[in-house]
Amino acid sequence: MDSLPKRDANYVPLSPITFLQRAASVYADRTSLVYGNTIFTWRQTYERCCRLAAALQQLGVMKKDVVSVLAPNTPALYEMHFAVPMAGAVLNAINTRLDATAAAGIIKHADPKLLFVDYQYMCLATESLRDGEAAGSISPLLVVIDDLNKPEETRIGELHYEQLVERGDPEQRPPRSVDDEWDAITLNYTSGTTSSALKGVVYSHRGAYLSTVGLLLQWGVGSEPVYLWSLPMFHCNGWTLTWGVAARGGVNVCIRTPAADDMYAALSAHGVTHMCGAPVLLNILVEARREPLLHAVEVLTGGAPPPAALLERVERLGFNVTHAYGMTEATGSAMVCEWRERWNALPTSTRARLKARQGVSALSLADAAVVNNIDTMQSVPRDGTALGEIMLRGNSIMKEYYKDTAATASAFRGGWFLTGDVGVVHPDGYVEIKDRSKDVIISGGENISSVDVEMALYQHHAVREAAVVAMPHPHWGETPCAFVALEPGFSCLGEVTEEDIILFCRDKMPHFMVPRKVVFVDKLPTNSTGKVRKIELRQRLHGCSQSAPGDSRPGSALAGKARL
């Protein structure tokens, strides 16, 4: 059994590139992508990617070089997910919602050889590059991505995306397989809200391949999917579905922004079967429409648990929601709330509660543990109550944080990746996240999940937004403080007072969990991906503008605070 070497015929390094090569062969004449009036087949998409890869190499792009891109969900951004790694390089898709300073920070850190910029983001890009130049970093070569649907408009810039596609030698095919499946394929920056928190997550070809296949299977993406690009591709490479749609030979429906009109128009025009988005996207969908869809659409949501009322409304329209939990470091989904047939018979509220859970580990993971002691790796009991930190292990976990050995060292421990998220395990094995470890409030030795308190606050009819953070307390160490934004028509001066909120909470939870203070705000501060900036709320309470120690690294904050 020992003398059986690997051969070209039976050992092919895992890479999502093979999905495109296969699609070009077996789904050759099927539609790969629709973007306004632009339609490509899988043969064409592959051809274009080969040409672009060849052109990148002509421009001097070498193996392991970084190529950055600032673009919405256009054909170019989709193609770059294959063409850049086909040239041996590493794709870095930058969040287009960042400001120039944040984008400049990423460009400086990633140090790309080329920067591709959609025409709409030229101002952001040039501003970022000016910032970067001032800071002494090298300027990448800039390539402008024009709008395929508006070829008549001439844009600024020396080098254009379509020129490169045209220039690439169509005969210069990429190698049949990558050298090493452990090679980097993409570099994704997490949505850190301070420059010190900027972390570049590196994926391998192997991790990307396995994560893609796992998600397709757990989400149940069957044959001939029509996928609407409502989720930005710069989020974990579109939760791996950039590659996933190629694996299934589906149709990519590209839209520049997830506006309700554009999404509904695409749903009916192209017979969309699948789409993704954070709960805020579900909100956009329900607010724009009353009548049910003509065909069911599968929606994968994540980033935050979808609230019950929202789930009910969106499902009534004909969207079938699957809830997943993930993070950039886990190549998208780390858990999927796999739905059970028998749950369909339960009352709406129970179903919503079950669906809001993060679920069971992704197939691409070997293991997910919820432990109450990182040193002994003691798992919490499956009682739905005991809090523990979620740890992950498997091929979908990132290689490392790019150029950041300190952050990498604190993210990995004892053969596990520390998520910094705190949750419980229900008797049926489903995990429910209760908090970020840094957001857990420790009051008199008791752990309080800020999310539990927030969920109670959301039950108050006048509460539109709620966030709970730890407030220093001389006796208890910490105690909860609630930040609340009221629904239009309500005011904290009249209808709803701090005392009302506190009394409301007393009915809903143990006394030690009840916020001691309620701060009314017009709107909660959020970052570019829509997450509440709790650090800012804590700073307001502390009355200082510096980061609290450990805030940049959730995992270490937990460890520094107390063992859960």
Residues of this chain that interact with its own copies (CB under 8 A) are 1-2, 4, 6-12, 14, 18, 21-22, 25-29, 64, 90, 176-177, 182-184, 202, 207, 210, 213-214, 216-217, 220, 222-224, 247-249, 338-341, 360-361, 363, 365-368, 392-395, 397-400, 402, 412, 415-417, 428-430
CB 83, min distance to its own copies, A? 18
* Sign of the four-CA dihedral 432, 436, 438, 439: negative
Minimum CB distance to its own copies smaller for 51 or for 206: 206
CB 389, min distance to its own copies, A? 14
Minimum CB distance to its own copies smaller for 14 or for 281: 14
CB 139, min distance to its own copies, A? 21
**Which one-letter amino acid corresponds to residue 480?**
P
Minimum CB distance to its own copies smaller for 165 or for 251: 251
CB 329, min distance to its own copies, A? 9
Nearest to 305 by CA among 337, 331, 260, 346: 337
Q: Give the contacts of 250 (CB within 8 A, at least 6 positions apart).
A: 221, 224, 225, 226, 227, 274
Minimum CB distance to its own copies smaller for 11 or for 549: 11
Q: 339 — alpha (psi -120 to 50), left (phi > 0) or beta?
A: beta
Q: Give the contacts of 36 (CB within 8 A, at least 6 positions apart).
A: 148, 149
CB 316, min distance to its own copies, A? 22
Scored b (16 or more CB within 10 A) or e, 508-546 reads ebeeebbbeebbbeeebbebebebbebbbbbbeeeeeee
Minimum CB distance to its own copies smaller for 8 or for 171: 8
Q: Give the contacts of 457 (CB within 8 A, at least 6 positions apart).
A: 463, 466, 468, 482, 484, 501, 504, 505
How many CA within 13 A on the CB side of residue 27?
24
Task: Tokens 């701090």: give the residue.
Answer: 498
Compute, in degrees rounded to 10, the torsion defined by CA atoms 39, 42, 46, 47.
-60
Minimum CB distance to its own copies smaller for 176 or for 506: 176
Question: CB neighbours (10 Å) of residue 291?
Answer: 7
CB 560, min distance to its own copies, A? 21
Longest Cα–Cα distance of the chain, Å, equals 81
CB 321, min distance to its own copies, A? 15
How many CA within 13 A on the CB side of residue 193?
16
C-alpha 177: how far from chain center: 28
CB 186, min distance to its own copies, A? 11
Minimum CB distance to its own copies smaller for 92 or for 539: 92
Minimum CB distance to its own copies smaller for 227 or for 417: 417
Residue 412 is inside which H or E element, if any? strand 412-413
Minimum CB distance to its own copies smaller for 26 or for 562: 26
